[in-house]
Amino acid sequence: MNELENIMKTCFELNQKSNNLCETTILRHHWYLKSFLKFGSCNGFMRPCQKLYDDFILAGSNGYDAILNRKWVVKLVDEVASTNALDQDGYLLNLPNLYTYEEVTAYFKNFTFPLDDSADNLYLISYTLYNIKNEDTTQSTYGQYKKAYLYIYSWLISHKNFTYDEEVLNSFLKDNQLKFDTGLLKKWVYKIRKRALNILIEVANSGTYHWHIFKSSKIILDEDLQIIIQDYMLSMNNNNMALDTVNLYYYVFKKMMIYLNVKKSDDLLLITENDIEMLCEKVIKDFTQSSLKTIYPIVKKILLYLYNQGYMIKNFSAMIQKPLYLKSFNPSILSKDDELKLIAYLDKISYRDQAIMLLAIRYGLRDSDICNLKFDEIDWYRDQIKITQTKTNVYLTLPLLDDVGNAIFNYLENERPECNTPYIFIRKQKPYQNIKSAYNLCSRIFEKLNITPLNGKGKGTHVFRYSLVKRLLDMGVPYQIITDSLGHVNKDSDKYYYSLDSEKLRSCCLDARWIGIKSWM
């Protein structure tokens, strides 16, 4: 009798002892157990294994009940044989029960943090989930993390890893990244697993966890390259450049070093024309066309600086040519029907999202000004909104419209979590920080309602800014009032918006009959 037959003998006995099942179900299970044994023997399997399980589930009828019964058999055999097999989604067929708080507390009394490689993974996962629950997470959020940890645990067991090992966890992260990059994993699943892994590592290192956002890893260069970059940044500071501009130069400088595969300062002497061509190809790939007109001059200046300072043997800056293209302006605007359809839909979404959308629709506010709106910028007594615009740092006063004020009030009274942040619109989950952008909210609603803006493909809040200008121009509102409503201080900013006034533009057209005729003779 081989190993498979021995295991199946135990399975038959367990099925017969199932007191909580009716006789019909026991007989049906017995038949499927016999089918499994026959299938394994006929296909040359001497012992239970993952391939046998997978092949058996796919064999036979595709009916729901038949597949369910085959899965029941596979799960029982896996439990008896301790094969730690996985289902089609990557979870263990027989997932373990998490340890209780008392068990976890007693276990970790014998450990100090950071943990060594003797700590059991299941105890660590159980302890991490208790830390997450203590942060007052919603039941839904806790459930998502629990599912992510069970998947991570399944992956670890399938790779024969039973105790804590940060290198193995990083291998899981790479595997997760690969599945996401190849389209095998949805973005939200990838993100929750990545965050769950970061929390697990933090608990293993510190013994506790408090909610915070895990920022993407920064570009790290060798010390000698950092000194070169810092010297360049110092020379820029002497030119009285704005902080945002200096930060952009710093970012581009570091990206260039990565693109050129420069590890140390001596590598700069080995740069060739082919390397610069490859640099340009990568820049074009990573940045949009509109961004290139800003990025290319920076690259050119940095290359000239490196040559002048003797870090490069050739002046490669001449190879960098600023791209020339005709900038077209074709703003995305909503039709009146789509705008009415969107406004009617707002009653079906959360109070927070209602308020955000109404601020964009009614005032044409920029995304940054909506996200950074603070309590002290709303004057409830005078019915005014008084903001300092993020982009221009210019003060702007707007009337607080009834529907906007009601939406904000409903959000504050019924939905907004209690916290000390001065910002009105915050995340729905911890950490309670102000939202960074309303683009995703806006684009989701556009897709839900099948709304396609006229004249373009825009899906962000700026669509409402253009749409508002178009409505005001059609109503004959004077340009200066529109300029003041938008909060513009530079008249060059207005010309793009005023190009929406098709009637006025039409009156400026030249008579084609005069083309080619000398008018001064």
Tell me, rounded to whole angstroms, the distance of Cα 415 from its chain centroid: 24
SS3 399: strand
Cα–Cα nearest to 80, from 117, 53, 115, 108: 53
Catalytic residue from among 352, 462, 466, 470: 462
Q: How many Å apart are CA 414 and CA 508, to the nearest integer?
A: 53
Alpha-carbon dihedral angle through residues 115, 121, 127, 128, given to the nearest 10 degrees: 90
Catalytic residue from among 29, 193, 352, 465: 465
Cα–Cα distance list, 295 to 218, 260, 308, 431 (Å): 19, 16, 20, 34
Alpha-carbon dihedral angle through residues 46, 51, 55, 57, given to the nearest 10 degrees: 100
Catalytic residue from among 99, 311, 351, 497: 497
Catalytic residue from among 391, 444, 495, 504: 391
Known catalytic residue at 497: yes
Q: How many Å apart are CA 502 and CA 510, to the nearest integer?
A: 15
Cα–Cα distance list, 383 to 31, 375, 423, 483, 516 (Å): 75, 13, 19, 21, 58
Q: How many Å apart are CA 197 and CA 145, to the nearest integer?
A: 10
Alpha-carbon dihedral angle through residues 62, 65, 70, 76, given to the nearest 10 degrees: 160
Known catalytic residue at 327: no
Q: How many Å apart are CA 334 and CA 316, to the nearest integer?
A: 47
Known catalytic residue at 427: no
SS3 230: helix
Q: Which residues make beta-bridge pairs with 387? A: 396
Known catalytic residue at 391: yes
Catalytic residue from among 366, 430, 459, 470: 366
Q: Which amino acid is at 319?
A: M
Contacts made by residues 5-14, CB under 8 angstroms, sequence distance 24+: 5/37, 5/41, 7/47, 7/48, 7/77, 7/80, 7/81, 8/33, 8/36, 8/37, 8/77, 10/80, 11/73, 11/76, 11/77, 11/80, 14/76, 14/80
Known catalytic residue at 366: yes
Count the neighbouring beta carbons within 10 Å of the beta carbon of residue 110. 8
Catalytic residue from among 282, 471, 488, 498: 488
For residue 435 the two structure tokens come to 């939202």
Q: How many Å apart are CA 31 and CA 40, to the nearest integer?
A: 14
Show which residues are catalytic.
Answer: 366, 391, 462, 465, 488, 497
